[in-house]
Amino acid sequence: MEITQTIDKPEGKYRHMGRFAFFIESLKNIRTVGTVTRSSRFLCQSVVRHADLKKAHVVVELGAGDGVMTRHLLKAMSKDSYLISFEINKVFCERLSKINDSRLIIINDSAETLAQVIESRGLDKVDVVVSALPFSVFPEDLTKAIVGQCHALMRAGGRFVQIHYSLKTKEIYRNIFGNVGSAFEVRNIPPAYVLYCFKT
């Protein structure tokens, strides 16, 4: 497991990958990326709205990609919070490492190691999980294991927000959290669902 702490750096402004570069990298890793286009600002804004990050101290991002959602999350978070972003793709992690924000912790590993990472950082509970992992193409047992782990690590009232392009796995979230709501963002390409749950 490779952990990178992003520190404040003076060397210029972060820029995400070009659309074509993102498309090529996504094609090479479609089963783990799940899409060939990055999230639009409209989709990012919808995720941030449903995540309600203002009072969150520990935020986890699963499937950070090249950082387009990461930047929106950091912008909405408080100054004393942490964002732990998981991304298994090394090329995307290199891009993420250019984000100039000391609150960002980049984990170049599978989301299955979430509990281990939280413990290694000396943290107790997670306030919010935002996920762009393509659970609809994951084995069902793996999806249940990752989502179940998120639920177990959350404080009461914590939020789980998931991006999807179908409602195929909606019942999994309902079975684990006991509740699930959804919003549909037609301005994203392709149009996407934002599913959100609360830990009671």
Predicted pLDDT at 137? 87
Instruction: Summarize pLDDT for 8-37 with one digit per residue, the tens.
Output: 443 344 455 455 454 444 445 444 444 446
- Structural domain harbouring 77: 2-8+15-198
Quote the mean pLDDT of the chain. 86
Can you give the CATH number for the domain in which 67 is found? 3.40.50.150
Sheet holding 2-5, edge to edge: 2-5, 104-108, 82-86, 58-62, 126-131, 154-164, 192-198, 181-185
Q: Which pair of structure tokens corresponds to residue 134? A: 């393509």
| pTM of the model as a whole | 0.84
Q: Determine the 3-state secondary structure of 157 from DSSP.
A: strand
Please give the tally of structural domains in the chain. Answer: 1
